[in-house]
Every structure is written in structure tokens, then in C-alpha cells.
């Protein structure tokens, strides 16, 4: 068995709780998720997703939605898809 190393990190308690709930639903624990993330960093030779500074429009949209403004709500996924005029 390969040697293991300890990773210590701090995060917001709410973020940790929510993330662990999602991980539990897909059958992973935090250590397994971190190992997957690290392997993806190695495979991608960087983060496995783009990291960009949001533009002005995106920042304004974040502020509005965080405040609960200009949100579109749908009862079902089908209603949302119909609104987009996309065929499933």
C-alpha cells in the first residue's frame, strides 16, 4: 500500500456540510473526493475546470440573484425546457 499524507484545510462550516451531504448521496467521503480532485489536477496539469474572473454582467446577475431578484422559477424541469424552446 502506498504511503498516505495528511491534508489539512479550513472551509466554511455550511459549505462543508452541504458538500458532504452531496458526496454521501454519490457514495463518496471527503477523502475520496479530494483524491479524485487531486488526480484530475494531475491529469489536466491544472484545475479540471476553467477559473475566470466574472465580467460586469455576471457580477450584476450574481448580486441580483443573491438578493432573490429577477429569478425564474419553474414547477418542473419540463416547464423549464419548454421556456427554453429546447427539444429533449
Q: What is the DSSP letter of 41?
A: H
Greater pLDDT, 31 or 84: 31
User: Do both 59 and 32 map to the same domain?
Assistant: no
Question: Does 88 have pLDDT greater than 60?
Answer: no
Q: Tens of pLDDT along 49-85?
A: 999 999 999 999 999 999 999 998 899 998 888 888 7
- Give yes or no: residues 66 and 88 share one domain: yes
Find the domain containing 84 and state its range. 53-88
Mean per-residue pLDDT over the chain, rounded:
92
Residue 4 domain-assigned (yes or no): no
- The pLDDT assigned to 87 comes to 63
**pLDDT attached to residue 86:** 66
Residue 3 lies in a domain: no
Same domain, 40 and 57: no
Is the overall model pTM greater than 0.85, yes or no? no
One DSSP character per residue, 45-82 reads TS-SS------HHHHHHHHHHHTT-S----SSHHHHHH
User: Is 8 within a domain?
Assistant: no
Residue 79 located in a structural domain: yes
- 59 within a domain of the structure (yes/no): yes
The count of domains in the chain is: 2
Amino acid at each position: 500500500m502506498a504511503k498516505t499524507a495528511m491534508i489539512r484545510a479550513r472551509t466554511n462550516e455550511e459549505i462543508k456540510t452541504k458538500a458532504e451531504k452531496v458526496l454521501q448521496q454519490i457514495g463518496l467521503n471527503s477523502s475520496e473526493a479530494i483524491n479524485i480532485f487531486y488526480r484530475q489536477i494531475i491529469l489536466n496539469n491544472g484545475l479540471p475546470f476553467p477559473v475566470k474572473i466574472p465580467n460586469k454582467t455576471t457580477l450584476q446577475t450574481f448580486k441580483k440573484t443573491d438578493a432573490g431578484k429577477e429569478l425564474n422559477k419553474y414547477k418542473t424541469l419540463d416547464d423549464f425546457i419548454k421556456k427554453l424552446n429546447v427539444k429533449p
